[in-house]
Amino acid sequence: MARRGFVFTLDALLSVITLVGFLTAIYFLSSQAPYDAASGILMKKRAGDALAVLDASGVLATVNETAINSSLEQMMTEANGYRATFDYYYYWNDGFDKIYSLEIGTPQQASSNAVMSQREFLVFESSRIKYYGIGRIWIWEK
């Protein structure tokens, strides 16, 4: 009878050791992961949403660096760094000419896992197109 108890105890002990080994391996492997792919998707969505809000609210149409920067700072989190460029073009008879360019945020990309989103927009004046614009935002984790 004592032998049967010893076998069950040994079986339980081996099961616990195996479970602890698996949990340790999972913890070690998850801590070694360099980059979470889901965070890249979320950052790309945040960048696209920021451009959409700037366009829909009419802030991009003001061509005002202070207003655009203020709006972007309100939308970005402390955990993310960002850089944004906005180029405004005027259409002449022979094509588009860049007439104004803005650069906001950190001058360089601080990380290799930065994501970029782009949006084209139009600026109207008196129901006519005044400018064609391209906005780009790069976001990365600090």
Residue 134: pLDDT above 90? yes
Q: What is the pLDDT of residues 65-105, one digit of tens each?
A: 888 888 888 888 777 888 899 999 987 777 788 888 888 88
Q: What pLDDT, on the 0 to 100 scale, is given for residue 108?
A: 63
The candidate with the shortest Cα–Cα distance to 123, out of 115, 114, 113, 133, is 133
Helix (H, G, I), strand (E, B) or coil at 47: helix
Provide the pLDDT confidence category of residue 12 given band limits of 50, 70 and 90. confident
In this predicted structure, what is the pLDDT of residue 3? Answer: 67
Average the pLDDT over 1-18 and give the result.
80
Rounded to two decimals, the pTM is: 0.67
For residue 1, pLDDT over 60 is answered with no
In the chain, what's the furthest Cα-to-Cα distance?
100
pLDDT at residue 110, as a whole number: 54
CA distance linking residue 46 with residue 51, whole number of Å: 9
| Residue ranges per structural domain of the chain | 1-33, 38-141
Look at the domain 38-141 and name its fold.
Ribosomal protein S3 C-terminal domain (3.30.1140)
pLDDT in tens, 24-73: 888 887 776 665 667 778 888 888 999 999 999 988 888 888 888 888 88
Q: How far apart are CA 19 and CA 35, in angstroms?
A: 27
